Amino acid sequence: MSDELKPVTLDMILEKIAAYQPNADINKIVRAYEFAANAHRGQERVSGEPYIVHPMHVAYILTTLHLDDETICAAFLHDVVEDTDTTIDDIRREFGDDVAFLVQVVTKPKSHAPGQADRAKQENNFRQLLDSMRRDIRAVLIKLADRLHNMRSLGSMQPVKQMKIAGETDFFYAPFANRLGLNNLRRELENLSFRFRCPERYERLRHALEIDRAEQADRLDRLTARIRRLLSEEGIEVRTEVRYRLPYSIDRSMRGTGRDVAHVEHRYVVRVIYDRARLTPLLESAPDKTICLRIYGILTDAFSEKA
């Protein structure tokens, strides 16, 4: 996605939190950021960026899921025990038991088994995450956000590392997100994994979808304009979005149906989003189900199934 690696600032994170949790402990969040920034001072990611960029992105991803202030604090701090001299006791003294628990769960346990250290370490990490779900789902959400940003920035890694991380993502993290109902996160993890596991096929499909999007643009503009007009005439003001499926999803359909990309059905969807504040007085207090059925009825009356 074009904005997946856009710069993230502390002010952006605080603004997002304030929008959905007005009573959040902003001072504590700022202290957690400053603590992490000091702990990671001088460290860099493989891309050459200051390391603190990564926990900031993880925290920002979690604000899109409307996580609480303690989870955001843990997001800033999630790598300090693993990558610096900071201990869990340090975190507990500064930020309390709740934040310390979350950081401890997402910290990979150390493994000393020669020859199998990496695999044992990852297996222990998976086991620790699964076990944590019984006590606090927030730790899993931090780990999924951590993996999402790592996948978004995977291009700076060596190809061997890319394949390993992409394989783990496809095998464990994307299905995990799916089980939790985090569909947007799951789709992005699947697609990013596909991008690095099958780069040539991914690029061919991405290019084909770009061509299809350009060819369909005028027709879709007319379609969405008509949808908005039909609903406006009935007192329902909406906005529309055309969302194309990602290459991974198209690839699955192609393999399942034996069709080429031009003949895969439902390559895109049109989303119709209404604003309750702009509804007519007869509908503004109606349940969402009633409004959606009304929109569905208007559109199915206007468009035949073949259209």
Please identify every residue annotated as catalytic.
Answer: 82-83
Tokens of 152: 């978004």
* Residue 132: how many other CB atoms lie within 10 Å: 20
Residue with tokens 């994170």: 13
Q: Which residues pair with 241 in a beta bridge?
A: 271
Phi–psi pair at 83, nearest 5 degrees = -115, 0
Q: Is the dihedral of CA 155, 158, 163, 166 positive or negative?
A: negative
Contact status, residue 273 vs residue 240, Cβ threshold 8 Å? yes
Q: Give the CA distances from residue 67 to residues 13, 58, 183, in Å, rounded to whole numbers and listed in that order.
A: 12, 12, 17
CA gap 174, 178 in Å, rounded? 6
Residue with tokens 């999402």: 148
The vertex-81 CA angle with 110 and 123, nearest 5°, equals 30
CA gap 139, 154 in Å, rounded? 22
